[in-house]
Amino acid sequence: MTVKTLSLHEAIYSDRDPREIVAFDKDTTYHLYDLQLMVKSLSVFLAMSKEKRFAIYVEDSYLFTVAFAACLYAKKTPVFAGIVRKDMCSKGNGCFDAIISDKNFDDVEIPFFDITTLRAAVKQTPLNEIPLKNHDAAITPVLDSSLKIEFYTSGSTGKSKRIDKTLRHLENDIKHLENLTGVLDDYENKAVIASVAPYHMYGLTFRVLLPLLRKIPFDAQFIKFHEELCGNYNDKNLIFVSSPAFLKRIDTSLKSPNIIFTLSAGSSMDIAASGKYFEWSGCEITEIYGSTETNFMGNRKLKGIDEYYTPFAGVSFKEINGELYLYSPLIDKKYKLDDKLEFNDNKFKVIGRKDKVIKIEENRVSLTQIEDLVKKHENITDCVALPLEKGDRTFIGIVVAVDENMYQDLSSNENKDKLKHDFVKSIKSSLKEHLLLVAMPRYVRIVKEIPLNSMGKKITAQLRELFNDKS
Given a contact cutoff of 8 angstroms between Cβ atoms, the answer to whether 440 and 430 are in contact is no
Q: What is the distance between the alpha carbons of residues 201 and 57, in angstroms, rounded to a whole number? A: 13
Q: Which residues pair with 80 in a beta bridge?
A: 151
Q: What is the distance between the alpha carbons of residues 228 and 224, in angstroms, rounded to a whole number? A: 7
Q: What is the distance between the alpha carbons of residues 152 and 162, in angstroms, rounded to a whole number? A: 5
User: What end-to-end distance do the CA atoms of the chain give, in Å?
Assistant: 63
Q: Name the 3-class secondary structure at 437.
A: helix
Check residue 129 and report its DSSP letter.
G
Q: Which residues pair with 228 in a beta bridge?
A: none
**Whole-prediction pTM value?**
0.83
Examine the pLDDT at 158 and tell me if it is beyond 60: no
Question: How much is the pLDDT for 455?
Answer: 66
- For the chain, the structural domain boundaries read 8-349, 357-465
Question: How much is the pLDDT for 371?
Answer: 92
Contacts of 264 (CB under 8 A, 6+ apart): 242, 243, 244, 247, 285, 286, 287, 288
Compute the residue count for the chain.
471
Compute CA 306 distance to the chain's CA centroid, rounded to the nearest angstrom: 24
Given a contact cutoff of 8 angstroms between Cβ atoms, the answer to whether 174 and 205 are in contact is yes
Q: What is the distance between the alpha carbons of residues 171 and 197, in angstroms, rounded to a whole number? A: 19
Q: Which residues pair with 344 in a beta bridge?
A: 347
pLDDT digits (tens, 9 = 90+) for 281-312: 999 999 999 989 999 999 999 999 999 999 99
Contacts of 436 (CB under 8 A, 6+ apart): 363, 365
Range with the poorest average pLDDT among 20-34, 37-51, 54-68, 358-372: 358-372
pLDDT digits (tens, 9 = 90+) for 114-144: 999 998 889 888 999 998 887 777 678 899 9
pLDDT band at 95 (very low <50, low <70, confident <90, very high): confident
Q: What is the distance between the alpha carbons of residues 24 and 26, in angstroms, rounded to a whole number? A: 7
**Please, what is the Cα angle at 195 between 190 and 199, to 5 degrees?**
105
Check residue 142 and report its DSSP letter.
P
Given a contact cutoff of 8 angstroms between Cβ atoms, the answer to whether 130 and 31 are in contact is yes
φ/ψ of residue 323, rounded to 5: -110, 145
φ/ψ of residue 322, rounded to 5: 80, 0
Neighbour tally for 454: CB within 10 Å: 21
Q: What is the distance between the alpha carbons of residues 262 and 277, in angstroms, rounded to a whole number? A: 10
pLDDT digits (tens, 9 = 90+) for 173-218: 999 998 888 888 889 999 999 999 999 999 999 999 999 999 999 9
Domain spanning 8-349: which superfamily? ANL, N-terminal domain (3.40.50.12780)
Question: How much is the pLDDT for 32?
Answer: 95
The Cα-based distances of 471 to 52, 181, 213, 423, 444 in angstroms read 40, 51, 51, 16, 9
Contacts of 429 (CB under 8 A, 6+ apart): none
Instruction: Count the alpha carbons within 13 Å of 372 in the hemisphere toward its beta carbon.
Output: 10
- Which is nearest to 59 in space by CA: 187, 185, 207? 207
Buried b (16+ CB within 10 A) or exposed e, 327-357: ebebbeeebebebebeeeeeebbbeeeeebe
pLDDT digits (tens, 9 = 90+) for 248-290: 889 999 999 999 999 999 888 999 999 999 999 999 999 999 9
Check residue 209 and report its DSSP letter.
I
Q: Return the CATH architecture of domain 357-465.
A: 2-Layer Sandwich (3.30)
Given a contact cutoff of 8 angstroms between Cβ atoms, the answer to whether 298 and 315 are in contact is yes
Pairing of strands 21-24, 29-31: antiparallel
Q: What is the distance between the alpha carbons of residues 427 and 371, in angstroms, rounded to a whole number? A: 11
